[in-house]
Amino acid sequence: MKYFLLFFAVIMAISARSAQAQTDLIEQGKTLFRAADCAACHLSSDGQTLSGGKAFSLPFGTVYAVNITPDRETGIGAYTDEQWLRMMRTGVDRNERHLYPVMPYTSYTFLNDADTLAIKAYLFTLKPVQAKAPENRLPFPFNQRWVMTFWNWFNNPNRRMTTDPHRTPEWNRGAYLVEALGHCDQCHTPRNFMFGLSGKAYAGTVQVGWRAYNLTSDTEHGLGGWSDSELFEYLSTGYAPHRGPASGPMAEAIKNSLRYLPAEDIRAMIVYLRSIPARSNGPQRGKRVPGASGENEDVGRHIFQQACMGCHLENGAGRQSDWGALEGAHSLSDPAATNIIAVLRTGTSIKTEHGKMAMPSFTKAYTPQELTAISEYLLDHFGGIQAPIKPESFKN
């Protein structure tokens, strides 16, 4: 009896330990899942589950995010660890089908085994949702998934990240967060003719209608002019004084991912970002255009007073909160007004410790001409530049 009890106690201890290990694994997986910002693409339209469905309009067609809940039929529930590792690194799913590189496996490929599987372990704890992603809409030849084999030869490094012994541990941690988990380059690095990432790492580019800014150390277009504390605040809250708020996809990255990262991780990312060589790439500041319509300027100002000043104030200082403080934002001196157009078209929202801060889309109440006028007004009033914007930018 005594032995039996002892035996029982040992069993209990072991299982308790393994249960603890399992909990730790899932907790770690959740942290990594957030750092990898899987939700950015896979969150359902109601924002409640990871059942996918979001459409990505790409130069070569439309691709839909898949369901990554553990539903066996429509989700990832049937993946073995081996299949999972292969999918995350080579972009080949368990049915031997090639994924399209909207899925950033060319970044996730840098993740180590333990981290990759921890993400899977976390996802497997979620409630399975039955939801089949819509069929991608791609013309020939892009609908031929095997073409991706060749694409991968050129574009997927397919290797794990190794520690650079010449760099500090902090830098190495930053590299892992930026390159592997955060897959920042997927938006911030210009793509090549194959839609792969070009050699101009982090030089900034326009993706899905939004300008992802230059993250290199360039002082004019990149982060060279930002202080560490500005970067820290921006990455962890979505706002830094005189830099404007994050909006669009960057606001989502902060909402779903960056705001959960521990401070030391954000600091590590900054260390790494600082080491990216400068590339002077970005929108050229517009020049004064003679003969711009004074009347249109009036229209822009009037609409700003009606619909915008309630949150932004005339001087752009933000009325209720910093997340409405436009002044200093990079987007206001981009003569193409890419992000102004995008935010007016689609709106934006960000989560903060003070609650959700959101701006709606204004395309239903105002005409393309009026939205053009307001974009031009914003560029002039805040960016000090006059640049003509085309009303077509606001037409669907």
**Least Å from the CB of residue 319 to another protein:** 5
Which one of the spans 11-19, 65-73, 106-114, 290-298 is the region binding another protein (CB under 8 A)?
Answer: 290-298
* Interface with another protein, residue 295, by CB under 8 A: yes
The angle formed by the CA atoms of residues 32, 34 and 38, to the nearest 5 degrees, is 100
Interface pick for another protein out of 15, 168, 293, 315 (rule CB under 8 A) = 293
The span from the CA of 231 to the CA of 331, in Å, is 16
Under a CB-based contact definition with an 8 Å cutoff, are residues 222 and 279 in contact? yes
* Residue 157 engages another protein in binding (rule: CB under 8 A): no
In the three-class reduction of DSSP (H, G, I as helix; E, B as strand; rest coil), residue 347 is classed as: coil
Please state the closest distance from residue 87 (CB atom) to another protein, in A.
30
Least CB distance from residue 273 to another protein, whole Å? Answer: 29
Burial pattern 313-345, b for ≥16 Cβ within 10 A else e, equals beebebeeebbbbbbebbbbbbbbbbbbbbbbb
Span from 6-14, 157-165, 270-278, 316-324 in contact with another protein (CB under 8 A): 316-324
**Segment 11 to 50, residues that bind another protein, using CB under 8 A:** 46, 48
Task: State the Cα torsion 50-40-371-340 to the nearest 10°.
Answer: 170
One residue of 28, 158, 321, 346 binding another protein per CB under 8 A:
321
**Total residues binding another protein (CB under 8 A):** 36
> Cα(169)–Cα(152) distance, rounded to whole angstroms?
30
What's the start-to-end Cα distance of the chain, in Å?
A: 78
Task: In angstroms, give the least distance from the CB of 390 to another protein.
Answer: 11
Applying CB under 8 A, which of residues 366, 376, 382, 387 lies at the interface with another protein?
Answer: 366
Choose between 91 and 244: whose C-beta lies nearer to another protein. 244
Which residue from 293, 301, 303 is spatially nearest to 363, judged by alpha carbons?
Answer: 303
Scanning residues 198 to 217, which ones bind another protein (CB under 8 A)?
none
Token match 């073409």: residue?
147
The secondary structure element, H or E, covering residue 232 is helix 228-237
Q: Which of 183, 190, 218 is nearest to 204 (CA)?
A: 190
DSSP strand pairing (205-207 vs 210-212): antiparallel
Binding to another protein by residue 386, rule CB under 8 A? Answer: no
For residues 84 and 366, which CB has a smaller minimum distance to another protein in the complex? 366
Nearer to another protein, 270 or 389 (CB): 389
Which DSSP string do the residues of 142-193 spell out, in sequence order?
TT-TTHHHHHHHHH---------TTS-HHHHHHHIIIIIIS-THHHHS-B-T
Q: Which of 146, 264, 314, 315 binds another protein (CB under 8 A)?
A: 314
- Which of 54, 145, 167, 302 touches another protein (CB under 8 A)? 302
Pick 366 or 382: Cβ nearer another protein: 366
Residue 54 in contact with another protein, rule: CB under 8 A:
no
Q: Within 338-357, which residues bind another protein (CB under 8 A)?
A: 353-357
| Residue 313 C-beta: closest distance to another protein, Å | 9
User: Considering beta carbons, is residue 192 or 293 the nearer one to another protein?
Assistant: 293
User: With binding defined as CB under 8 A, does residue 309 bind another protein?
Assistant: yes
Cβ–Cβ under 8 Å, residues 289 and 385: no
Task: Report residue 201 as tokens.
Answer: 């790492």
Quick one: which of 160, 158, 174 has its CA closest to 101? 158
Q: Shortest Cβ distance from residue 364 to another protein (Å)?
A: 4
Under the rule (CB under 8 A), what is the footprint of another protein?
46, 48, 293, 295-296, 299, 302, 305-307, 309-311, 314, 319-321, 324, 353-358, 360-362, 364-370, 373, 391
